[in-house]
Every structure is written in structure tokens, then in C-alpha cells.
Structure 1
Amino acid sequence: MNSMKSITLYHLMIKNQKMIGIKFSPDKLIQNLIKGLPNPKWSDQHKMVYIRNTKTNLGILFNTFRGVVWINYNHFFANKPVHSGNKNVDVQWFRNRVTAPEYRLCPEEYLLKLELKRYSYSTVKTYVTYFEMFINHYRDRDINTLDEHDIRAFLQFLIQKGVSNSYLNQVINSIKFYYEVVLDMPNRFYAIERPRKEFKLPTVISREEVLSIIAQTTNIKHKCVIELLYSSGLRRSELLNLKISDVDSKRMLIRVANAKGYKDRLTLLSLTALEDLRIYFREWKPKEYLFEGRKGGKYSAESIVKIVKEAAKKAGIRQSVTPHTLRHSFATHLLESGVNLRQIQVLLGHSSSKTTEIYTHVTTNTFKSIKNPLD
């Protein structure tokens, strides 16, 4: 096979029908082979030849070019599974929403595919919100006729509104999900440009400031909430999902079940926090979840944020402190005390060590060893 001769396959939508796009450099051999394909046509818009996207036609295409011309199908076939092991998510709430009569809802097949792919509730909410924003921007257009130019124009519209890079990336993901996953056209918008990922340092406070925040809590329940967020490095959602049985006082560990990425892990249980938890347990008597609302069930996420912010304000800390600030501070303080990055990665539940390495940028150890030129 001549390595210089190649074709690249693309997913196209032309006149509301799925097509196989075939792009190639001018070559007589390839042109002659293409003439033998079922009803090949030229697209001025996409600058490539196309044929109907059917299993039969795809088989004919591969049989025609295999062994003669190299076929690049990286833009055509999916290269990884999507959340195949996650637990079910109920999307009925999205179906039952009350919206304005002229508001355009995402297609039912979009919600169905999100269910089948078992995305988390927060991801489902994000995807539906952003995709509906996109299709309402083009309310008078059939969504299957929208192409790369329309997507880029919409992204430019958002950029002019001053949205962040991470926001734009989520919008792109929600749009690609419909055209590439729901319509089963993998990598159709492979060439859509993504903004660079923003590099932001985590917000960290000192150990003394953490202790002052804990000292400003108004009751033992609030005190335990802040102590666990910090001493166990928990995400807010992980704290809310903790059950009484997840606290292992014999091994001094906390079991975090179904954390981000639907992975279980173990993290540290502070002796100080354990003593306060015992007082809290006798006083509040939770039944299932470690922290429950007045009527039972999970404690609210808003309440956790309110507890942290009010205690930080009373402690006189000027910078914004959130539950995640306590998690960042936990990791940074461990690193400063000599704990290695791999151990911190395990405690935080990070899939990649690169995520954990960001804390090396905020540890005071990095700067203490450098003599300031002014001094």
C-alpha cells in the first residue's frame, strides 16, 4: 500500500441525512476508486465527496480502499466508552419542567441517551442547560441542520459576553453530545477549537485560620461539619453523602462511597473530630446520614456553604472561604508537613497525580527556601 495515498472519513449531515464524508488530496487512483462507490456526490460546503451513511455503504467503502489506500477513521469512530459503570440517574425532573411556551426543550432522545450513559445528576443538569441555551439561540432552525459555522458563531457570542474558558468547554461538550453521541456520529465536530484550560491556583488558608473558623462555630453540629471538611479533605457532596457506618473509629478512617467518578476511597479520621462527633451523635441522634436536616434525610448543600462562610466571617478572614477551600488547605498542609504527593492523591481521590501536583505551587516550603533579594 502506498503510504502517500490516504483518505479521511468524516460524519456529515446533509439535507437532514447522515453521510460519510471522504476527504483526500487530488489523486487519480483515489478518484477512480471513489467513482465505484454507491452514488458519490461532492459537497461545496464541506469540500469533500460524500455517500449515504449506511452499514452497507461503509462496508463497500472499506472493501474498496483496504490494502490500496490508507483509511484514516480517527474522526469517524468513537475511541473511548462513556461512563459505562456509573449508577442510574433520574432525569424525570427535566421532563416535567414548566417552561415558557416558546422555550425549546432538548429532544427526548438527548435525555434518554444521558440516562443510558449514566451521567451524574450535575452533569445532566449542565448538559441540558447549555444545550437548550444553544438550540434556543437558533430557535427557528432545525437542530439537525446546524453545523460547525453555527457552533462557532454561538461560541463567539458567549465569548463576547465574557464567559470563562471552562464554561465554554462545558458548552462544547453539551453540543457535541447531541451531534456525536445521540445522533451516533462520533467525532463529527472533531475540529471545533477548544479554549485553553485556565490554570488557577487553589485558595488556601493557614492552619491557624482553620482553627479560628472552627472556634467560631455556633454549635457542635456546625463544628463537626467544618472539622471533617478540613481534617478528611472531603468535597461538600462527599460530606453530605456520609452515613454513620462510614465512620470507622477503630481504624481511624472514613469511607467515602461513590465519590467523584463513582469511586470508593478511604481518608483520614481526626481524633479531635472523632471526639466531637461522639458529642454530636449523642446530642443530635442522626438516623442514617451522618449530617441530616431537621426532617431527616441529607443535610442541604446550601447549609454547608452557609456554615463555612459565616464562621469564616466571624473569624475575621477577609478572603472568600468555601468548603472546597478547606479541602485545598488540608492537602496543602499535608504537603508542607512532609506527606508525599502519592499519599495525598489517594486521600483526595484524584485519578491523576497531575491534579494533586497543583498544591506544590502554593506550599510555603517552596518559598521559604528562597532568599528574597531585598533582604
Structure 2
Amino acid sequence: MIKVRLSSFVHRGRRQIKVDFPYSEEVNDHIKKFPKIRWSRTHQCFYLPYNQVLFLEFYAYLRERNFFVDYQQLNGLKTISKYKKREPRKSLIELLEGRYLEIYKEYKVYLQGLRHSPNTVAVYGHFIVAFLLFLKEKRPAAIDNPVVQRFVEQLVSDKGYSISSHRQLISAIKHFAERFNISGIEVTSLKRPSKQNRLPVVLSQQEVISLLRHTANLKHRLALALIYSAGLRISELIHLRKADIDIDRRQVRIERGKGRKDRYVILAESILPLLQNYLQTYRPRHFMLEGNAGDMYSAGSVRNFLRRSCFKAGIKKQVTPHTLRHSYATHLIENGVGLRHVQELLGHAKPETTMIYTHIAKKDLLQIRSPLDEAVLQFLEPDKHPTKISLSGRFKG
């Protein structure tokens, strides 16, 4: 019988339920389908909020597959015998009524009319549902900037939103004010937090090769190789069709990428044997990567097998599919490809977006000598080399 052990630990400043089990595809696939489960890249484990009801629901979920559940370390939670199944909680949209429900629907149509992507419509719509519930049937004339500010402060504090989500929240409210002509909201006075100038995580070329070598599954290896060799976004990978691969011209057509832009990228020579092997083995019908039913592959599946491959390859960095795209761009610049060409290959609308990779490309930085090496050179005899000077020993004084 497969044993799953539950224990408590602290993650992101809060107490969580840690899920440990001997790795197998069966257990992994079952656990990751639980609605509230999360993955910690820091602790390399699945976890749940430390919550009595969630614990009991998860226990029942595991017992459906006859897994043995060891929960002895969760002494603070109630026993299984007191478990009562709760009613499913309503979604936020189901809580809207009357005029506010109509406003939400009109807002979604407005965003669609602006040709925003389905993902943007969904994210902005979620924020506005929360805003309408916060207003509690206030009349439009009573909505002003202080009301908006209180809502933003409360939501950001309660949900712990990132700066990126905070910026999206403000954009959603600006669209809302413009659509319904709310005179009390001064759109120009709604300030978004500045973007974080965080440098992306990048793998070395040796780490990329190690990652591919430790990915045994043929489909999984092709997916990771395509992302890195062509600098694809994960959405571009799962939407990639067989017809988009032009082997003769060594090109991949990316249709309707981010910003609804088409582009061509290079099909690596070294990927051709892997590609041919994959096509003959799996025989995909429409999409390059297909699920068991021939439908589109899921982004979550890609993230999961990438995580497993990183673990097998001994890569400790926090790696996502976008990390491979970052690595692709950085390695292009290090190999001498011009910034304008890199921008076009990545599908960036602005050169400023591409320029971040100049900060992490190490080719020019390697030519700079550390001042410590310069100082050591001052004391060297002509026949000696800096690497032969030991700084770890004790100095005579």
C-alpha cells in the first residue's frame, strides 16, 4: 500500500500541511489534481494551507485510491471520525445579483470589444467582481478615488498580490471607470506600482544539456528542447501545430503569439533527429504536443515534468518553462547575436524588454578582471600565476 505522510511546516510566513510520498506517476498525478494543492519550489514538495476542513477533504480524497495516510504529526487538527463534508462554496460571480451582475457582463463585453485576450478578460473580470462586491450596491455617483484606494489596499493586503497583479488590478479599475463614465474616479490619479527590475534566472548551456539528458520521456524531451532552441513561451508551445514546423526551411511559425503577433523562429539542426523520432513514435494529428485524447497538452503538465527533470539533473535553481526562454535569449547575446535580431526572435514589441538580457549576458563581463586579481598580481613573480596564490592559508604578520 502506498503511504502518504502529512506534516506541518512554515512556508511564506504561514503554517502549511506538507505532503510527502515515495515518488510514482500514479500518486503524483492523483495529488496534483486536488483543487487546493500547491507546489513549493523552495521546499520541493506539495502542500496545503493548514486548515481543518481542507485536511479532512484531502484525507478523503487520498482514501478514494486506498492510499495509507499518516497524519500523526498534525496533532492540532480534528480526527477523521468527525469529518463532515461541507457544501461547495459559491464562486464570486455567483454572489453578484441584480444590476451589479449586469454591470459585470457589460464590462466583459467591453473588454472583448477592445480585443483583449481571453486571459486578460478573465483576470480583469475577476478583479471587477471583487470590486462590485466591495461596493455593496453603492450608487456610481458615490464611487470616488478614496473608495477605490480602500478597496485596493484591502484586496492587496488580504490576497498578498505581487506587484504584477497589483498593476493589473489598477488597469482593470481604469477600464471600469472609462466604460461606465464614473465621474468620481479620476483615472489619471490612480497610480500603479513601478515594475520590479528583477533579473531572470538563467541556466548555463551545460545545465540545459544536463536537463535534456535527464528527461527520459521522448515527448517531454522534445517539448523542453523546442522551448529552449526556439525561445518559445509555454502558451506558444502548447498551441504549436504540426503544420507550423517547416523542416526544409528550418523554421517554426509562431502564430498569434503575445500581442497577437506572428513570427518565425529558427528550427535547430540538432533537434531534427529528436523531432523525427517523436513524429514516428507518437504520430500527433494536429498539435505537436497532444494529450491522451488528442487534445491540446496542458501547461501544468509541462511545468510538472520540467520540475521532475530538474530534480533528476540536480539543478537547484528555480526553473520554469520561461527560464528556458530567458536562457535562450541570454545565450544568443553571449554568442554575438545582435539585440535587434534577438528582439525579433523573441517577439518583443519594444527593444527595452529585450535589453534586460544584456544585464545577465556574461561574455563581456568575463573580460573584466577582478580588482583582487590585480592586487595579487602586484606581488607575483614573473613565473607565477594568480591561481597559484592561496588566499585560504594563514598570513604571516
Per-residue CA deviation, residues 178-197 of structure 1 (Å, 9 max, x unaligned), is 11135497x94112222111
**Which deviates the most, 230-239 or 302-311?**
302-311
Q: CA deviation at 1:364?
A: 1.2
How far apart, CA to CA, are the structure 1 residues paired with 2:229 and 2:312? Answer: 21
CA distance in 1, matches of 2:215, 2:139: 55
Matches of 2:170 and 2:234, distance apart in 1: 27
In the superposition, relative to structure 1, how do residues 126 and 369 fare at CA in structure 2: closer, same or farther (>3 Å)? same
Which of 317, 320, 323 does residue 319 from structure 1 map onto?
317
CA shift at 1:98, angstroms?
8.3
Q: Which amino acid aligns with 1:156?
A: E
Q: Work out whether residues 170 and 191 of structure 2, in 8 Å CA contact, stay in contact via their aligned partners in 1.
A: no
Pairwise CA distance, 1:246:
0.5
**More deviation in 144-153 or 261-270?**
144-153
Structure 1 residues 140 and 201, CA, compared in 2 at 3 Å: closer, same or farther? Answer: same
| Mapping for residues 4-43 of structure 1, pairs under 5 Å | none
Distance 1:304 1:182 in 2: 41
Alignment of 1:207-218 (within 5 A): 207-218=205-216
After superposition, where does 1:85-100 map in structure 2 within 5 Å? 100=94
Conserved 8 A contact 2:241-2:286: yes
Q: In the alignment, is residue 122 of structure 1 matched against residue 107 of structure 2? A: no
Alpha-carbon distance in 2 for matches of 1:100, 1:250: 53
- Partner of residue 219, structure 1: 217
The two structures, once aligned, show a CA RMSD in angstroms of: 2.3
- 1:267 maps to which residue? 265
Structure 2: stretches of 5+ with no match in the other structure: 1-90, 374-397
State how 1:88-237 maps to structure 2 within 5 Å: 100-101=94-95, 105=101, 107-143=104-140, 145-161=142-158, 162-183=160-181, 188-237=186-235
Shift of 1:160: 3.9
In 1, are the aligned partners of 2:231 and 2:325 still within 8 Å (CA)?
yes
CA contact (8 A) 1:202 1:325 kept: yes
Query: Which structure would you say has the larger RCO, counting Cα contacts within 8 Å and 6 or more residues apart?
Result: 1
User: 1: distance between equivalents of 2:313 and 2:202?
Assistant: 15
Structure 1 126/159 Cα, relative in aligned 2: closer, same or farther at 3 Å?
Answer: closer
**Partner Cα separation in structure 2 for residue 232 and residue 308 of structure 1:** 17
User: What's the counterpart of residue 47 of structure 1?
Assistant: none
Instruction: Specify whether residues 231 and 182 from structure 1 end up closer, same or farther in structure 2 by C-alpha distance, changes over 3 A only.
Output: farther
Map Cα deviations across residues 50-81 of structure 1 (whole Å, 9 max, x no partner).
xxxxxxxxxxxxxxxxxxxxxxxxxxxxxxxx
Give the counterpart letter for 2:371 in structure 1.
P
Amino acid in structure 1 at the alignment position of 2:361: T
Whether the 8 Å contact between 1:113 and 1:182 is mirrored in structure 2 is no
Q: Counterpart amino acid of 1:136? A: L
1:30-54: CA deviation from partner (whole Å, max 9, x where unpaired): xxxxxxxxxxxxxxxxxxxxxxxxx
Q: Could you say what secondary structure the match of 2:187 adopts?
A: coil
Mapped partners of 2:293, 2:227: distance in 1: 23
* 3-state DSSP of counterpart to 2:311: helix
Aligned residue number for residue 46 of structure 1:
none
Q: Distance in 2 between matches of 1:124 and 1:314?
A: 38
Bigger mean CA deviation after superposition, 140-149 or 226-235: 140-149
- Aligned to 1:374, what secondary structure does the other structure show? helix
Amino acid corresponding to residue 307 of structure 1 in structure 2: F
Give the stretch that moved more between structures: 278-287 or 359-368: 359-368
The amino acid of 1:118's aligned partner reads R
Q: Are the equivalent residues in 1 in contact too, given 2:140–2:182 (CA < 8 A)?
A: no
Query: 1:156 Cα shift?
Result: 2.6
1:336-347 equivalences under 5 Å are 336-347=334-345
CA contact (8 A) 1:180 1:188 kept: no
Task: Indicate conservation of the 8 Å contact 1:253/1:269, yes or no.
Answer: yes
What TM-score do you get using the length of structure 1 for normalisation? Answer: 0.70
Q: Which amino acid aligns with 2:353?
A: T
Q: Are the equivalent residues in 1 in contact too, given 2:92–2:130 (CA < 8 A)? A: no
The CA distance in 1 between the partners of 2:256 and 2:96, in whole Å, is 39
Give distance in 2, aligned partners of 1:143 and 1:132: 15
- Which of 342, 345, 348 is the aligned partner of 2:346? 348
Task: Give the conservation status (yes or no) of the 8 Å contact 2:143–2:182.
Answer: no
- Give the TM-score, by structure 2 length: 0.66
Return 5+ residue gaps in structure 1 as ranges. Answer: 1-96
Structure 2: distance between partners of 1:261 and 1:180: 22
Q: Which residue of 2 aligns with 1:6?
A: none
Q: 1:191 to 1:373 in 2, by over 3 A?
A: same
CA contact (8 A) 2:242 2:287 kept: yes
Instruction: Check the 8 A contact 1:291/1:299 in 2, yes or no.
Output: yes
Which of 298, 311, 314 is matched with 1:300 structurally?
A: 298
> How many angstroms apart in 2 are the aligned matches of 1:371 and 1:107?
60
Partner Cα separation in structure 1 for residue 285 and residue 192 of structure 2: 47
> 1:66-104 CA distances to partner (integer Å, 9 max, x unpaired)?
xxxxxxxxxxxxxxxxxxxxxxxxxxxxxxx78554686
Query: C-alpha distance in 2, partners of 1:178/1:280?
Result: 48
What secondary structure is seen at the aligned counterpart in 2 of 1:266?
strand
Write the letter of the residue equivalent to 1:224.
L
State the one-letter code of the partner of 1:341. Answer: L
